[in-house]
Amino acid sequence: MVDWRIYEHPILEFDRGEEVTIYLDGEPMKAFESETVAAALYANGLREFSKSIKYRRPRGFFCAIGRCSTCMMEVDGVPNVRTCIVMVKAGMRIKRQKYLAEYLSPILNLMKLPPQVYMRLMTRPGIIYKPAMMVMRQLTGLGAFPKKVLDPPPQNQGAQGEISTEFLIVGGGPAGMQAAIEAGQRGISVVIVDDKDRLGGQLVKQTHTFFSDIKYAAGKRGFKLGEEMISQLDQLPNVRVITETSAVGYYPKEDIMLLKGPNNTTLKVNAKKYLVATGAYEKTLVFENNDLPGVYGAGGVQTLLNVFGIKPGNRGILLGTGNVALMVAYHLIQAGIEVAGVYAPSFRRVRGYFVHAAKIQRHGVPVVTRHTIVKALGRKEVKGAIMTKLNTDYSHVPGSQFKVDCDFICIGVGLNPAYDLVQLFNPKMVRSGVLGGFVPIRDKTYRFAENAYIAGDCGSIEEATTAVLEGGLAGLHVTEALDIRSEEISEKITEYEHALEEDRSSPFSAGLKTAMNEITVDDIMEVLT
């Protein structure tokens, strides 16, 4: 039986829990209780999780955080389940979804009709309007309703509960956890929710040692820092942690946040203050066959490797030379996986810290600038990549194309702030390329709406240490806004502000500091009114 799990790692020990059996299209597969459905299937060698709607192209594992739809499958009779964030259960039955008009896909693939043709078919001439609509409806559906009534759900499934708290934090990464620690230590009642099965955010994926001078993270591996923060939260009886739960709605007039938890339980939360610390998600690149199974986001590879202990492949390439791409390359090397090269798609110099680039170069991995990918090779999964050299104007150098043998391609070209929940508070949004994308204007207390605050990557794409510092500041400002003030809190805020200034003091952060000043105001309410 194929097994892509890692059983020996120089740093990590994987506590997989009890072994169970799950079924894919009726075939039994080995899984562990601490794995998601997608991780367990991947460990058993599955690469094609779904197909594209129109042309039936294979789709595979990509982000591992529930942000894309490529891993959608039918789970225990429920269609369109994002399997990368659903935990394994013994006896679980998974099916790859089939579509009603599957026989039409090869025909459409050969025809290659432009988009405007479909629009015209559905509007004129009248004689073919109804038949065209029937065909289009079959082609554009994902999944199918069960053919028989599902077993009755558990008694509490779909039930609605209500929670009242002073401070609700959405996002259990470094920013959210540090905010909960600071507010919780000062007596504030806190609820912190996260859509994963555990707190930690990106920290659980990071095996490297932070070399910042900041005392909050210096000399610690990312996953160890996360464990320490979780331990601190466990000691605070006024902090409630809710995992596997997503924020799905906010109603400003009532100050109610709606959460969707395990078993489809609906939770209505009344809070006085909110912190959005939802992090970020992967950017991607446009190239031929970029949708093939075997093309992954950097975070997806980190999740497979360092959270679940599963190899993404045997030989891969990295696209991007920021810190994320460089560190993922090192994580792959740690796990004994060959890295064929790290290529910068559009930059003429390494954008990450030199120490990270030097570390992987010492292991014989080339870090190549002024190169980009042209095409991923393969029909059903990645079998290689075609690369090309770039001119100074970023056009392709004629005749410079070459093939790299690999079975996976990892895209690490940056992150987008996850601002979906932020927008529900009706803030003033601006687009900043330096900060990663669309972010809200906020004041010096990290408030971006009347009762809402922001911290971490959803407000600006930076390092994990910065997220810790911003989260701590936001937690303290919320504490003061809830009328708990002291000289100790003021001193702590000053300490955090000095640490944040030091953290952003490198030449790498010059543009970021300018961008942060542009979106920071004295009083957010003056901007919103």
Same domain, residue pair 431 and 398? no
How far apart (Å, rounded) are the C-alpha atoms in residues 446 and 490? 16
Residue 8 in domain:
no
Q: What pLDDT sits at residue 53?
A: 73
Q: Per-residue confidence at 322, pLDDT binned at 50, 70, 90?
A: confident
How deeply is 49 buried, as exposed, middle or buried, from its count of CB atoms within 10 A (0-12, 13-18, 19+)?
buried
Residue 287 in domain:
no
How far apart (Å, rounded) are the C-alpha atoms in residues 290 and 284? 9
Residue 5 in domain:
no
Amino acid in the structure at residue 415: L
Single out the residue in 413, 430, 463 at which a domain terminates. 413
| Beta carbons of 43 and 4 less than 8 angstroms apart | yes
Residue 244 in domain:
yes
3-state secondary structure 360-415: HHCCCCCEECCEEEEEEECCCCCCEEEEEEECCCCCECCCCCEEECCCEEEECCCE
How far apart (Å, rounded) are the C-alpha atoms in residues 186 and 234? 15
User: Which helix or strand (DSSP H or E) is residue 230 part of?
Assistant: helix 222-234
pLDDT digits (tens, 9 = 90+) for 186-238: 999 999 999 998 999 999 998 887 766 566 666 788 899 999 999 999 999 99
How far apart (Å, rounded) are the C-alpha atoms in residues 457 and 286? 24
Residue 153 in domain:
no
Same domain, residue pair 325 and 367? yes
CATH number of 515's domain? 3.50.50.60
How far apart (Å, rounded) are the C-alpha atoms in residues 322 and 410? 13
For the cut 80, the answer to whether the pLDDT of residue 285 exceeds it is yes
How far apart (Å, rounded) are the C-alpha atoms in residues 476 and 523? 17
Single out the residue in 413, 441, 472 at which a domain terminates. 413
Residue 417 bridge partners (DSSP): 280
How deeply is 242 buried, as exposed, middle or buried, from its count of CB atoms within 10 A (0-12, 13-18, 19+)?
middle
Same domain, residue pair 262 and 113? no
Q: Which two tokens stand for residue 228?
A: 């320490």
What total of structural domains would you count in the chain?
4
Q: Are strands 402-404 and 415-417 parallel, antiparallel or unpaired?
A: unpaired
Q: Write the CB contacts of 266 (distance below 8 Å, at least 6 apart in sequence).
A: 158, 159, 160, 161, 258, 259, 260
How deeply is 440 buried, as exposed, middle or buried, from its count of CB atoms within 10 A (0-12, 13-18, 19+)?
buried
Same domain, residue pair 348 and 388? yes
Same domain, residue pair 268 and 305? no
Q: What pLDDT sits at residue 206?
A: 87
Same domain, residue pair 307 and 393? yes
Q: Which two tokens stand for residue 115?
A: 């988009």
For the cut 80, the answer to whether the pLDDT of residue 361 exceeds it is yes
Residue 223 in domain:
yes
Same domain, residue pair 405 and 377? yes
| Beta carbons of 482 and 458 less than 8 angstroms apart | no
Same domain, residue pair 258 and 333? no
Same domain, residue pair 302 and 409? yes
Give the pLDDT mean for 39-57.
88
Residue 2 in domain:
no
Same domain, residue pair 228 and 308? no
Q: Classify residue 322 by its DSSP letter.
A: S
Higher pLDDT, 486 or 414: 486
Single out the residue in 413, 428, 456 at which a domain terminates. 413
Higher pLDDT, 383 or 394: 383
Q: Are strands 50-51 and 408-411 parallel, antiparallel or unpaired?
A: unpaired
Same domain, residue pair 129 and 66? no
Name the 3-class secondary structure at 169: strand
Q: What's the distance, CA 12 to chain centroid?
A: 21
3-state secondary structure 199-210: CCHHHHHCCCEC
Nearest CA to 212 out of 480, 495, 503, 12 is that of 503
Largest interatomic CA distance in the chain:
78
The phi-psi region of residue 521 (left if phi > 0; otherwise alpha if psi is between -120 and 50; otherwise beta) is: beta
Higher pLDDT, 130 or 81: 81
Other beta carbons within 10 angstroms of residue 385's beta carbon come to 28
Q: Per-residue confidence at 125, pLDDT binned at 50, 70, 90?
A: low
Q: What pLDDT sits at residue 211?
A: 64
Name the 3-class secondary structure at 528: helix
Q: What pLDDT sits at residue 106?
A: 63
Across the chain, what does the average pLDDT equal?
A: 88
199 half-sphere exposure, CB direction, 13 A CA radius: 30
What residues make up the domain containing 514?
Answer: 160-281+417-528
Residue 258 in domain:
yes
Same domain, residue pair 243 and 274? yes
Q: What pLDDT sits at residue 84?
A: 92
Give the pLDDT mean for 490-517.
90
For the cut 70, the answer to whether the pLDDT of residue 122 exceeds it is no
